[in-house]
Amino acid sequence: MYSGINISQTDARPMYLQILEQIRARVAAGDWPPGKELPSIRALAAALNVSVITIKRAYLDLESEGVIVTRHGKGSFVADVNGLAGELTEAKLDEHLNEAAALGRQLGLSEDELAARLRRAQRNLEKK
Amino acid sequence: MTNHKHLSMRGVRKNYRFFTLDDLTLELEPGQVMGFVGPNGAGKSTTLRLAIGLIAPDAGEIRVLGHDIPKNQAAAKRDVGFVSAEMRLFPHATLGWHMDFMKSIYPEWDGGYAATLVKRFNLRTEQNARSLSLGEHVKATLLLALARRPKLLILDEPTTGLDPVARHEVISEFMDVLRDESRSILFSSHNTVDVERISDTIAFIDRGRIVECSNKEDFLDRWRRIQVQLPPGTALPDLPNIVHRQIDGHFVTLTTNQFSEGLQALIGPHVTGIQRMNLEEIFVANVMHHREARGQ
């Protein structure tokens, strides 16, 4: 079903990167529109005869690039900042903030201290 | 049951007159493929035989699907499929007879799946085992194990003797098994291309010891070959994590098992190239490095 994605043994790039770039190209070309559900990690692994960990790595990197969004138990979707995928990203942000708030309480941080940590993280991101 | 490791070996030892397998520690999680790579005589088959309870260890602990091995091997074996190249079918019986035989022993036998595999592997149920080619024999033994739908598949050199097309067919079936995240595969192979492609975890074994066992992506990420051209009169600084250096006049090739930008910065501006390594190159460099370190 996803036979359009190819992995070359003579390509010097690692397998996860070859997969990642081909998915990114499909998203950029609009063949995989925003909100489209990606195959599950195990289904794509079986279709490409590639280990689960390799697909996982490709999806994780695509997620951190903002190309796809993954929700636990729901699957991975092509990201769209304004559409359905955008809502998923919003929900995901809330999830992470809730976790951060809980950890902050565990460490005994005040509201200001926690906010300062967030600002520091934002500045670190800008430096990159 | 799902919380159990599918396989765990701790401090396992097995002594033979001319060979000792020692300090063997391995873990396989459900849903994973572990590739077991080693030179001839490294102890791969011995390890797999210990795991299935065909031989008993002299020391250490082995658990398969939560059962103590070899003590409770009967319980474990219901959910474990084992295939090795040495396995022989009854020469005067047909493949169909073997399939009926398995069906009578294993209640989980999946007749529909077995019939699909016969087609996919291009086998004939009415053919006598004696007249099967080497490749057909391998595919027949794999079929008999796969159609039982075992939780853990232990495969000793499953692709040896197969032509490239048959290898592709067989590997596709393995990956199909993995669609179900409660199943797992442990397989040994000389073919590092297959191992590199489908394994989540890779264990290197040499001379009866595990050289390294780690997540595949980790392995491939850490190892690099670095080419350096030193200007006259300069020397390389002391560098950490270099497992091999080859010096030819001004040209130096370094092999590292812990590549980082920090390491590259230490070497300085004379780096002319950095290459990733494939699993075979990593395996050879790793084994040679460990043999040197152990003074062998």
Listed by start position, the domains of chain B span 7-218, 224-276
In this complex, the residue of B179, B201, B215 whose CB is nearest that of residue A42 is: B179
In this complex, the residue of A14, A49, A54 whose CB is nearest that of residue B172 is: A49
Shortest Cα–Cα distance, B14 to chain A (Å): 31
Tell if the CB–CB gap between A43 and B172 is shorter than 8 Å: no
Per-residue pLDDT band for B1 (boundaries 50, 70, 90) equals: very low
Chain B window 22-61: which residues touch A at a Cβ cutoff of 8 Å? 31-33
Shortest Cα–Cα distance, A5 to chain B (Å): 15
In angstroms, rounded to a whole number, what is the distance separating the alpha carbons of residues B154 and B88? Answer: 16
**ipTM of the assembly?**
0.81
What residues make up the domain containing A118? 15-127
Q: In this structure, is residue A1 part of a structural domain?
A: no
Domain count, chain A: 1
pLDDT of residue B97: 97
pLDDT of residue B95: 96
Q: Quick check: A82 contacting B, CB < 8 Å?
A: no
pLDDT of residue A2: 58
B chain contacts of residue A14, beta-carbon cutoff 8 Å = 217, 220-221, 276
Q: In this structure, is residue A9 part of a structural domain?
A: no
Of A81-85, B118-122, B135-139, B244-248, least confident by mean pLDDT is A81-85
Arch. (CATH architecture) of B7-218: 3-Layer(aba) Sandwich (3.40)
Which residue type does B113 have? Y
Mean pLDDT of successive 10-residue stretches along chain A, which has 128 residues: 77 91 86 90 93 95 90 87 60 85 90 91 82
Q: How many residues does chain B have?
A: 296
Q: Quick check: A42 contacting B, CB < 8 Å?
A: yes
Mean of pLDDT over chain B = 92
Shortest Cα–Cα distance, A98 to chain B (Å): 28
Q: What percent of chain B has pLDDT over 70?
A: 99
In this complex, the residue of A7, A42, A54 whose CB is nearest that of residue B217 is: A54
What 8-state DSSP symbol labels residue B278?
-
pLDDT of residue A81: 63
Is the pLDDT at B203 greater than 60? The verdict is yes
pLDDT of residue A91: 73
Instruction: Supply the CATH number for residue A39's domain.
Output: 1.10.10.10
Average the pLDDT over B243-252 and give the result. Answer: 90
Residue bearing the bigger pLDDT, B87 or B119: B119
pLDDT of residue B234: 84
pLDDT of residue B153: 96
Q: What is the pLDDT of residues B17-44, one digit of tens each?
A: 999 999 999 999 999 999 999 988 899 9
Tell if the CB–CB gap between A52 and B33 is shorter than 8 Å: yes
Please spell the DSSP secondary structure of chain A, one letter per residue.
--TT----SS-SS-HHHHHHHHHHHHHHHTSS-TTPBPPPHHHHHHHHT--HHHHHHHHHHHHHTTSEEEETTTEEEE--SSSHHHHHHHHHHHHHHHHHHHHHHHTT--HHHHHHHHHHHHHHHHH-
Is the pLDDT at B168 greater than 80? The verdict is yes
Task: Please give the residue of chain B at the shortest CA–CA distance from A51.
Answer: B198
In angstroms, rounded to a whole number, what is the distance separating the alpha carbons of residues B230 and B275? Answer: 18
Shortest Cα–Cα distance, A15 to chain B (Å): 8
Which residues partner with B185 through β-bridges?
A: B33, B153
Is the pLDDT at B51 greater than 60? The verdict is yes
Q: Are B187 and B36 in contact (CB under 8 A)?
A: yes
Q: Quick check: B175 contacting A, CB < 8 Å?
A: yes
Q: Are B196 and B183 in contact (CB under 8 A)?
A: no
pLDDT of residue A29: 80
Is the pLDDT at B206 greater than 70? The verdict is yes
pLDDT of residue B2: 45
Q: Quick check: B168 contacting A, CB < 8 Å?
A: yes
Alpha-carbon distances, residue A58 vs A110, B85, B217, B279 (angstroms): 37, 35, 11, 19
